[in-house]
Amino acid sequence: MMKILLILSFLLQAAGSACPGGWKQNGQSCYLFSHDKEDWPGAYTMCTVMNAHLVEIDDIDENKFLVSNAQSEIIARETFWMGLSDTMEEGVWTWMTSRQPSTQYTNWAPDQPSIVNSFNQYGRKQENCANFHGTQGFWSDALCSLPDYYICEKRAQSAPIVG
């Protein structure tokens, strides 16, 4: 009988969880802080495989939540890819999943996104992907080809009603 109660308790806890194991909930979203590094396209793909997307930061509260949780995740992880890029149009930073420009809220570090940086042979700026600095919450542009940690985001699931 005790074994059945333990199993039932576990199932009820799992059913009541709005986020998968290892994910952290804030409001209606679940977040996963990666433990591996990928280049920006690889990070985008990894989040997609998990039915999620690279994090899109909507406001200061979400940015603060990410800082507080990134700090607990950081050992050697100081920056994380997020879903912001200007690859579609130079200088227009757009969230890649929602396709919305990042005009409502930004938290760029001083002198970021950088205007002067390396250019490719076609004269295009190469720092076209944005990362999130977990210690302070600032954003910066970086080379998309560099490996970095990443943050995936997906919508929290409603817990089913049992009984």
What the chain holds in terms of domains, given with CATH numbers, is: 22-155 (3.10.100.10)
Per-residue confidence (pLDDT) for residue 148, from 0 to 100? 95
Which are the contacts of 68, defined by CB distance < 8 A and separation ≥ 6?
none
Sort strands 79-85 and 149-155 into parallel, antiparallel or unpaired: parallel
Sign of CA dihedral 21, 77, 47, 61: positive
The count of C-alpha atoms lying within 13 angstroms of the C-alpha of 105, restricted to the half-sphere facing its C-beta, is 11
Contact between residue 64 and residue 132 where contact means Cβ atoms under 8 Å apart: no
Per-residue confidence (pLDDT) for residue 135, from 0 to 100? 86
Quote the DSSP letter at residue 8: H
Query: pLDDT band for position 14 (50/70/90)?
Result: very low
Mean residue pLDDT of the chain comes to 83
- Asked if the model's pLDDT at residue 12 lies above 70, the reply is no
More confident residue, 105 or 116: 105
Lowest-pLDDT choice from 6-10, 33-37, 147-151: 6-10
- Asked if the model's pLDDT at residue 9 lies above 60, the reply is no
DSSP SS3 for 63: helix
- The tokens describing 71, both together, are 């700090």
- Asked if the model's pLDDT at residue 161 lies above 50, the reply is no
The predicted-structure confidence for 62-101, as pLDDT tens digits, reads as follows 999 999 988 776 655 689 999 999 998 888 999 999 999 9
Per-residue confidence (pLDDT) for residue 90, from 0 to 100? 86
Per-residue confidence (pLDDT) for residue 72, from 0 to 100? 75
Strand partners for 141: 130
If one counts every other C-beta atom within 10 angstroms of the C-beta of residue 63, the result is 19
